[in-house]
Structure 1
């Protein structure tokens, strides 16, 4: 479980195909000294397991299943790509984001990424099947970042990005047309499934 508050950004060293899977190696900086084998780390919002790490090189390795490559944007990563990193939440820390599982629901395209004064306007498409899962002032997780949905249209969601978020995440490397991983709010998904189950009885 994560919060959607990005701890740091890392730089992709390599993404190496291995048959129907792949190995992702990321330069994670000082975080490497605190990692352990089997630990969960959200990489662009996708919960991955640390399989190897190198404290001196400050790298961490993750094995990606074909399913992960199919439902996320991680397959788009190249050497030098900047990724958002977050370790699993600590129960002793302040909980400042929202409950994020690290289970990506879909990928979405950026429709608009523009400056608006000191802030940035981020508009992303919404898949038709996600209708009702995002509400105005509700939470949405994009590339592992907990964001507030400022406005929701039938086909998109608009978030406002403050300078701090722009600076400390990978968003400053993005442009219109780029793919982002999206995880919809857990509560909304439970409510929709319960309502669908009741309607079927």
Structure 2
């Protein structure tokens, strides 16, 4: 389980294709502290550390993950948001994030508000029941509050600290990001759909 509070950023150093899978070597300040078989959130996608080589670690995404996330767009040099699992005695500063990306969203606009930056995203309308005003969503692994919600769009406002310490500063109109909707909302939606069946 993650909180959506980004710990560090890394950079894709190498991309390797094996069958339908893609493996990535990630260079980061925390790579040498990781352990093999550890779960780490990469842009909101929970991936298992397979190998460590100094300041780099290797992870692999299977076809299912590649289809539901933006990992197939990653190239050498791509900046990646990283978060290790929350320790059981840690604080939940963001919201409950599983690292199981639901879909991708596309940035439709970015506005500089002289102190913050507002991003607007379009997401698949099939997830509309999971998006509520002032609710939470994980964008590239970042826990964010959403507002100005429509059937298939919402906005988020980013403070300067988050801009400086995550890869959301690189998001521009047309950028594709990973999105994980709030887990509690998913359980409620599932429960209600079964009651109507």
State if a TM-score over 0.5 links the two structures. yes
1:104-156 deviation digits (Å, cap 9, x = unpaired): 00001001112111110111002111112011111010000000012211220
Structure 1, unaligned runs of 5 or more: none
Deviations 1:9-58 (A, max 9, x none): 001101111111111110021x1232111000000000000000122xx0
TM-superposed deviation, 1:74: 0.6
Structure 2 unaligned segments of length 5 or more: list them.
none
SS in 2 for 1:68: helix
Aligned length: 197
Residue 28 of structure 2 is matched in structure 1 by 28
Query: How big is the alpha-carbon RMSD for the aligned residues of Structure 1 and Structure 2?
Result: 0.9
**Partners of 1:134 and 1:20 in 2: how far apart?**
32
Normalised by the size of structure 1, how large is the TM-score? 0.96
- C-alpha separation in 1, matches of 2:11 and 2:109: 25
What are the residue-to-residue correspondences of 1:14-163 with 2, within 5 Å? 14-29=14-29, 31-55=30-54, 58-163=55-160
Q: Cα distance, 1:84 vs. partner?
A: 0.3
Output one character per residue of 1:67-101: Cα deviation in whole Å (capped at 9) or x when no partner: 11111101101111101000111112221000000
Asked if 1:165 corresponds to 2:162, the answer is: yes
Equivalents in 1 of 2:130, 2:6: separation in Å?
Answer: 23
SS at match of 2:130: coil
Q: Secondary structure at the match of 1:197?
A: helix
C-alpha separation between the residues in 1 aligned to 2:69 and 2:88? 28
1:176 to 152, 173, 178: 173
Return 189-198 or 32-41, whichever deviates more.
32-41
Moved over 3 A (4+): none
Bigger drift between 36-45 and 88-97 goes to 88-97
